Amino acid sequence: MVQTLANRRRQVVAQVAIGKLPKVKTPRAVISVPLGVDLRVPPALVLGPKLKYEGRFLVCAGRFCSAEMDLPRKFSNELISAKKISVNFRMSGKSVVVPVETKGIANAFRAAVSGTR
């Protein structure tokens, strides 16, 4: 499941992909954020007020830097119950919080993980 996140001017500011690889029991997330991100501060996928999953940057290419993170088995339940989801990172000395659309995200994640559409 992939969600592209844009600002009000329709410029892509981040992308989040959540799924599960074959033969792997736990889900993973890949977050792509713009070049210029502070690579010393790990990006995070934040669910609600308390759950925060931090990633590690792997590569910067083109216009984006990508980070990945392992997610716990219980992530599906956490995703279903989350009222707010965001991608957080640091850029130009400022914290950036990009909201993720929650409508339909749990169903899309379940479909991606189970391989159905």
Structure confidence by residue, pLDDT tens digits, 56-85: 999 999 999 999 999 888 888 888 888 899
By the 8 A CB rule, do 67 and 43 touch?
Answer: yes
Beta-strand (E) ranges in 1-117?
2-6, 12-19, 28-34, 44-47, 51-54, 56-61, 64-70, 85-91, 94-100
Q: Does residue 117 carry a pLDDT above 70?
A: no
Lookup result for tokens 């990006």: 43
Lookup result for tokens 């995070």: 44
CATH architecture assignment, domain 2-114: Sandwich (2.60)
Q: Does residue 3 carry a pLDDT above 60?
A: yes
- Residue 59 φ/ψ, nearest 5 degrees: -155, 150
Lookup result for tokens 């308390």: 50
Local structure of residue 101 (DSSP, 8 states): -
Local structure of residue 108 (DSSP, 8 states): H
By the 8 A CB rule, do 108 and 2 touch?
Answer: no
Q: Does residue 115 carry a pLDDT above 80?
A: no
- DSSP reduced 3-state for 32: strand
